[in-house]
């Protein structure tokens, strides 16, 4: 069985979300796409002004990553502390969360970067 290449994207801001969308559309299930971010939700910056001025509630401007990532993209909520390129491993901060995050998300301590495209 062939080993699928893995692409790990650190940060789920505009760039990370756009990159995972492009990769998902271009490669589908041919590659393993992992998106890692310390937060569980995306908040568009200018929406914060609507909250500040009382036009919207905070919950109205938060978009859970599990609801907006493309099919085939695996979301992990974690904080990357360092990456060891020689060992092809990452080191994450241990999160004081339950082993599984919200539906569709995983809270991971470590991911094998052995097949990561650099």
pLDDT at position 98 is: 39
Chain CA centroid to CA 112, Å: 15
pLDDT at residue 95 is higher than 50: no
Rounded to a whole number of angstroms, the distance between the first and last alpha carbons of the chain is: 22
Indicate the range of 16-20, 80-84, 102-106 predicted with least confidence. 102-106
- pTM as predicted: 0.69
Q: Which residue segments constitute the domains of the chain, with CATH numbers given?
A: 5-106 (3.50.50.60)
Percentage of the chain surpassing pLDDT 90? 25
Q: Which residues of 12-31 are buried (b: 16+ CB within 10 A; e: fewer)?
A: beeebbebbeebbeeeeeeb
CB-CB contact of 70 with 58 (8 Å): no
pLDDT bin (cut points 50, 70, 90) of residue 44 is confident
């Amino acid at each position: 069985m062939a080993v699928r290449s893995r692409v790990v994207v650190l940060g789920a801001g505009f760039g990370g979300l756009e990159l995972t969308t492009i990769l998902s559309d271009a490669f589908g299930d041919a590659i393993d796409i992992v998106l890692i971010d310390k937060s569980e939700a995306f908040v568009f910056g200018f929406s914060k002004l609507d909250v500040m001025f009382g036009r919207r509630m905070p919950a109205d401007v938060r978009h859970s990553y599990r609801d907006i990532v493309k099919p085939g993209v695996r979301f992990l909520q974690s904080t990357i502390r360092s990456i060891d390129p020689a060992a092809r491993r990452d080191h994450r901060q241990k999160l004081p969360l339950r082993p599984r995050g919200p539906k569709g998300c995983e809270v991971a301590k470590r991911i094998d970067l052995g097949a990561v495209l650099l």
